[in-house]
Chain A
Amino acid sequence: MKKSIIYLFALLPLSMMAQVDRSKAPQPSPAPVIKIGKPATFTLANGLKVFVVENTKLPRISTTLSFDMDGIVEGNKSGLTAIGGALLRHGTTKMNKAQLDEEIDFLGASINASATSVSASSLKSNFAKAFGLMSDIILHPSFPGAELEKIRKLELSGLQAAKDDPASIAQNVVNRLTYGKDHPYGDITTEETLNNVKMEDIKKYFATYWKPNNAYLVFVGDISVAEAKALAQANLGTWKPGAVPKPTYKEPQPPAKTYIAVVDRPASVQSVINFVTPLQLKPGTPDVIPASVMNNILGAGSTSRLFMNLREKHGFTYGAYSSIKSDRLAGAFSADASVRNEKTDSAIAQFLSEFNRIRTESLTAVEVGNMKNYLSGSFARSLESPQTIANFALNIARYNLPANYYQDYLKNLSAVTPSTVQSVAQKYVLPNQMHIVIVGNAKEIAPGLEKYGQVRYFDVYGNEKSAPVVKQTDASVTPESILRKALTMSGGEAAIATLKDVQLTGAASIMGRDITISQKHVFPSAYSFEASMGGMALQKELLKGGKYTLVAQGQSQEPEASDKEEIDERAALVSETYMLSKPGYKYSLGGIEQVEGKDAYVLVVKSPAGRDYTNYYDVATGLKVMTSSVEDAGPMGKMTIKRIFSDYKPYSGVQIPTRVIVDLGPIKQDIKFTDIKVNTGLKADDLK
């Protein structure tokens, strides 16, 4: 090299000296050697199997006790394990719940319990005490009766919230149809089954299944095998072993032919569609890894085929996914999406087309290669948590996997080829043997579904029922005639005219809280309504001297024209008198539908103030049995609100419903009017 140019090198910008090509992504270094630690393991004399993953990075220990069970058929006591599991943490024979909370916080620890596991974690310095508390919860729960009722109440209100939720309905029906009622996965929890759960059932459950010889105890963290042994022995060594029943269940079979199970939910604007085939796919079998690659390509995440097709290309849905589950008792392939009513048919077609495509069209090496990269990277990252090592060991023990199953995971993953992916697709994605469960508005979505298979109807608990019959209204029936009949059957205009004032007092219960309802009418034009709880007003409406007042949760609201009109209709008591007297209402007939099992005329109303709602009038009695409207419920979006009227009784010749169920979907309010007074001389000024 010429000396004269050496200085030029010194002047070169750093970027040129650094030999790095920025124009494309750098190649990865050789794959890291994956070291999967092996936990120490030992068994106590009572049969409790213990695993210890010692990891001294942090002076902290966590532990989990779990039971080797696949679940039980809870049947008419479904909810038993949910309630029982929660109850464990609510007191031991030594401490009530408050003392337990205080003690756990004092240790800077956390302890959680369910019907199939208990876990605890804390710093090493407090771990012996935390483990002592956890052991106490395991061995000496006090099962306090008052706490049981608290938990039951919580479960009941949770259930109420889920009852009208289409996704929860879908889950229940899918489970029942796929696994059947004699299988643990086919249980459905209802209010009735929750109320059937007795303390003896809970105690019996724990006495039967919670045996040390049926359990695994895992320690992860800064704990040596000797320390773990000493702790386990000292706290759980006295735990008595015993025989544990190992029930077996009939293996669920795929349906012989694909069919459509429709659960009619007239209020639905979206269909919740689920595709399910039960499978025999046990954990650790050779198909599991290629099946996971296949499913990830088909429908996991936001770059999968189903997502790209149904959301990105067609815009039918916010998301479409599939999953494949390996399971000792019963595996399954499933896929689902929520789609707009009118796209139900087309969405099913696209799902089936993607199912067929992955079975028949060759996959590219790039597509499979990228997915393998993704999965191996995720696997490597998962190893950061010592808990992963413990889970691996637990799976190996529980499912009887080869000892080197996880050590060989990456090797087996890298052996997956496009053709193995396709062959598992052919084996497990069975478009001709699926339960296609749809929760939605049957009237709008059912036409056209026969091309995918027989269309059958089910109730929300998976019981088959007959198809809803579309009944035609008689040509003589008009909106006017329906309203007139309602008026007549309510007692007639003459009887209604004799009403000077009416006072209704009632009660309702909402999410376990008691609400008092007081409603007053002074005809023709004064009206008040108040719902209160424990003496505090939740909501008030007042119409007096032509002035409208609305108060909700202590805040005054400015009534709009539509609010005023709604109050006017209510103030009339028999709202049809108001509707017939005011010009500007527009009506159309929506045929006949069932309300609470009875035929009712559907009257679609557009009010002068622009409100849209639907009234339902009993075909036989002529009385109004329901109103339904869609309201804007803020962050929850649109919400259908139904008011169901029943238990009509005559007062001064006028039929007044003494029971009103307000159905907000997640919340239902059952109002019973226990005291109704008529013509007591109430004055408009008395209304406040």
Chain B
Amino acid sequence: MKKWLFIFSAGTLLTTGLFAQARKITFEKYTLPNGLKVILHQDNSAPVVAVTALYHVGSKNEDTARTGFAHFFEHLLFEGTENIKRGEFMKYVNDAGGNLNANTSQDRTFYYELLPSNQLKLGLWLESERMMHAKIEDIGVNTQREVVKEEKRQRVDNQPYGSIITEILKRSFKEHPYKWAPIGSMDHLNAAKLDEFINFYKTFYVPDTCVLSIAGDFNTADAKKLIEDYFGAIPKGTRPIPRPNITEKPLGGEVRDVIQDNIQLPAVIQAYRAPKQGSEEDYAFRMLSTVLSGGRSARMSKVLVDQKQLALQAASIPFFNEDAGLFINFAIASMGVKPEVLEPQVDSVVNSLKAELISEKEFQKVKNQIESNFVSANSTMAGIAESLANYEVYFGDANLINTELNRYQKVTRQDILNVAKKYLNKDNRVVLYYVPKTKAAPTGKP
């Protein structure tokens, strides 16, 4: 329930869009006088509707002494409102046969309800209540503090390799708020007073930071009327929105560390500083990432897992966000293989990208895979609503859902070689070895 977007969050945001051959996704976009942006995609082919609200607030908007707030709100705002009793938010959706959830990244917080289409009004009522007058009270704050702590225990502390993103971020960024992960600090949450939570709500949960994106089986004219009814009266925000304006300096040398974790098999993680999302280099990087780990025949799994059997699993993860990006390689060692043995092999796969152009055939394979993933991505109303909102918030252009693939088509083999040479260098990376904390599984002694 309500998961904090862990590792693939921003990385996957952009992998939605359509190639030239794909069907055009039509939508209507407008802004209410109070600043709320609305995007409507009508599709009456199945009796379902996805009601989503994307707030442009993530962990990067937090105070350095109050990290974890954005994610905490993702929990708190299910607690209830002036008209929704505590604990009933979910029950309304369940009893309607619907489903709901939310997630938080470094850049935004996203809420959604998936409903049978005759329950559109229910979704609008719930989301407008959440924006208009959520109840921020001690009882809810205290309850959710415990839940978030439990979540951290389960997903970060107790999860093998669960702290990777936190550990990488704090070494990759010195100034920018990307240096902490959305889960934030439990001490900060403990120390925060009720009025700080209320202030955060009043600052960020206002119509002008939100995109209400709805896709599915409705009549656009009726939906617009309902949206006016439920959201029109919500006042515009009155406070300035803190948005960091920090350009992080280059890393300036390789950073290495060893992390002890509750794991059985060591892992090697390399995080290279990379361009921010939406840049031309970003698209070249995403294609490069597919060369390394897009399928059973991709270089990482073919070389490290199948041929050399040094890794149980190996993957590349583009982790590109609004202000800056990271490109992460992650390999779990096979039993008995030391990280020191595995790392040079990961390097050699990565360096092969800097040595020469990938072949025309491999380039074509990657293009085919990217095209295929794109076309498949927007197959649900929920996916379409989320993509439209992301494109609007990050690039100011929801229509990228139809045109973004052109940006990939511009990438050449030389561009891939160029980003590899420019970014995949030692002095531009953080390397972590994850090693077993407890003694290894005991072996037999008479």
Contacts and interface: CB of A to CB of B under 8 A. Distances in A.
A14 B232 contact: yes
Q: Top 8 A-B pairs ranked by shortest CB distance? A: A377-B97, A15-B233, A108-B372, A634-B262, A552-B440, A32-B47, A533-B336, A26-B121
Interface in A8-34: 13-15, 18-20, 22-34
Given A18-B228, A32-B117, A125-B21, 7 more contacts: A384-B380, A385-B379, A534-B336, A552-B436, A656-B446, A657-B446, A671-B443
A550 B122 contact: no
Nearest to B368: A108
Contact of A20 (B22, B118, B229): B229
B330 to A, nearest CB: 18
Interface in B376-392: 376, 378-381
Contacts of B258: 555
A515 B443 contact: yes
Interface string B408-446: 000000000000000000000000000111111111111
A674 interface: no
Contacts of B294: 105
A538 B443 contact: yes
Contact of B83 (A24, A28, A32, A33): A24
Interface string B149-180: 00000000011100000000000000000000
A112 to B, nearest CB: 11
Contacts of A58: 22-23, 375-376, 378-379
Nearest to B117: A32
A633 B266 contact: no
A60 interface: yes
Interface in B19-64: 21-23, 45-48
B337 interface: yes
B443 A517 contact: yes
A633 B438 contact: yes
Interface string A516-539: 010100000000010101101011
A309 B354 CA distance: 61
Nearest to A536: B336
B208 interface: no
Interface string B316-353: 00000000000000000001111111000000000000
Interface stretch (A38-46, A249-257, A368-376, A424-432): A368-376
Interface stretch (B186-194, B241-249, B295-303, B397-405): B295-303
Contact of A662 (B264, B371, B443): B443
Q: Which of B23, B124, B379 has the most CB of A within 10 A?
A: B379
Contacts of A370: 95
Interface in B265-322: 266, 294-298, 302, 306
A635 B440 CA distance: 13
Nearest to B258: A555
Given A28-B122, A373-B96, A539-B440, A59 B375 contact: yes
A121 B376 CA distance: 10
A34 B230 CA distance: 27
A660 B21 contact: no
Contacts of B117: 32, 380
Interface residues of B, number: 85
Contact of B440 (A519, A538, A641, A671): A538
B118 A30 contact: yes
A664 interface: yes
Contacts, number: 238
A119 B302 CA distance: 23
Nearest to A33: B47
Given A554-B338, A634-B438, A381 B97 contact: yes
Contact of B297 (A98, A635, A660): A98
Contacts of A108: 365, 368-373
A606 interface: no
Q: Which of B264, B266, B378, B444 has the most CB of A within 10 A?
A: B444
B445 A570 contact: yes
Contact of A375 (B97, B98, B262): B97
Nearest to B265: A553
Interface in B244-262: 258, 260, 262
A57 B122 contact: no
A643 interface: yes
B376 A383 contact: no
Given A555-B435, A633-B438, A28 B445 contact: no
A550 B438 CA distance: 11
Q: Which of A13, A380, A385 has the most CB of B within 10 A?
A: A380
Interface string A324-335: 000000000000
A25 B436 contact: no
A123 B371 contact: yes
Contacts of A656: 446
Contacts of B142: none
A635 B336 contact: no
Q: Which of A101, A632, A667 has the most CB of B within 10 A?
A: A101
Interface string A646-688: 0000000000110011101001010101000000000000000
A106 interface: yes
A18 B229 contact: yes
B338 A376 contact: no
A396 interface: no
B185 interface: no
A438 interface: no
Given A552-B439, A634-B437, A28 B232 contact: no
B116 interface: yes
A25 B125 contact: yes
A97 B121 CA distance: 52
Contacts of B220: none
Contacts of A383: 46-48
Interface string A560-597: 00010000001001000000000000000000000000
B12 interface: no
A60 B443 contact: no
B205 to A, nearest CB: 17
A32 B116 contact: yes
Nearest to B92: A25
Contact of A31 (B114, B118, B302): B118
A126 interface: yes
A651 B232 CA distance: 90
Contact of B115 (A19, A377, A533): A377
Interface in A92-149: 98, 101-102, 104-109, 121-123, 125-126
A20 B120 CA distance: 14
Interface string A420-444: 0000000000000000000000000
A56 interface: yes
18 contacts: A15-B233, A22-B83, A24-B83, A29-B119, A57-B379, A58-B378, A105-B297, A108-B371, A108-B372, A373-B95, A378-B97, A380-B46, A380-B97, A381-B98, A381-B116, A383-B47, A384-B381, A529-B445
B296 A105 contact: yes
Nearest to B298: A105
A555 B436 contact: yes
Contacts of B406: none
Contact of B125 (A22, A109, A384, A513): A22
Given A25-B92, A59-B375, A102-B297, A553 B116 contact: no
B118 A28 contact: yes
Nearest to B376: A60
Contacts of A105: 294-298, 365, 369
A302 B217 CA distance: 29
A519 B375 CA distance: 59
Contacts of B358: none
Contacts of A25: 92, 122, 125
B143 interface: no
B324 to A, nearest CB: 30
Nearest to A635: B262
B263 interface: yes
A511 interface: yes
A32 B439 CA distance: 60
Contacts of B437: 634
